[in-house]
A = this chain, B = another copy of it.
Amino acid sequence: MEIVPYRRRVNYYETDRMNIVHHSNYPRYLEEARLDYMRQVGIAYDELERKGIIIPVLELHHHYIRSIGFGDIIEVHIKLTKLTAVRFRMKYEIYNALTGELVHKAETAHAFVDPNLVPLNLKKRFPEEYATFEKYLENDE
């Protein structure tokens, strides 16, 4: 299945007095795109949480290449680049959908934990969900 990149308008309230999107909004763009990706893949995050699979963020890496502002539309491309029984990593590219320019590169690392925030072996405890993740794992050239 082809993943459709996540797209949405920049909100006015996301701009700052430099007249660009404040850098602290980008982790939120990644989260929106990541949850959209998971919905497309068939493992919606609210269902995972209902089953007791919580996925906190362990790492966040952002590279700001070009600014974006009010009136722009972002498009977020995601790759699942690493997967183990207890963790995974994703890479993101954000484009200005109006100009086609790459404006941002990012990477996140996540753990699978239970509702008490104790590490969870997804492969063993939820083999079906693990298999879904695995199907989308891409080689990170």
User: How many copies altogether?
Assistant: 4
Q: Which residues of B contact A67 (CB under 8 A)?
A: 56, 117
In whole angstroms, what is the CA distance A15 to B20 when docked?
A: 11
- Known A-B contacts A12-B35, A31-B11, A31-B13; the reply to A54 vs B18 at CB < 8 A is yes
**Residue A135, interface by CB 8 Å:** no
Whether A15 and B13, one on each chain, are in contact in the complex, defined by CB atoms closer than 8 angstroms, is no
- Asked if residues A56 and B18 are in contact (CB atoms below 8 Å), the reply is yes
Inter-chain contact A64/B57, CB cutoff 8 Å: yes
Instruction: Identify which of residues 5-45 in chain A touch chain B, using a CB-to-CB cut-off of 8 Å.
Output: 11-13, 15-20, 22-24, 26-28, 31-32, 35, 44-45
A20 proximity list for chain B (CB < 8 A): 17, 56
Give 28 A-B contacts (CB < 8 Å), ordered by A residue: A11-B28, A12-B17, A12-B45, A13-B16, A13-B24, A13-B28, A13-B31, A17-B17, A17-B20, A17-B69, A17-B70, A18-B54, A18-B56, A23-B56, A23-B60, A24-B24, A24-B27, A24-B28, A26-B60, A44-B71, A46-B71, A49-B70, A56-B64, A57-B62, A57-B64, A59-B61, A60-B61, A67-B117
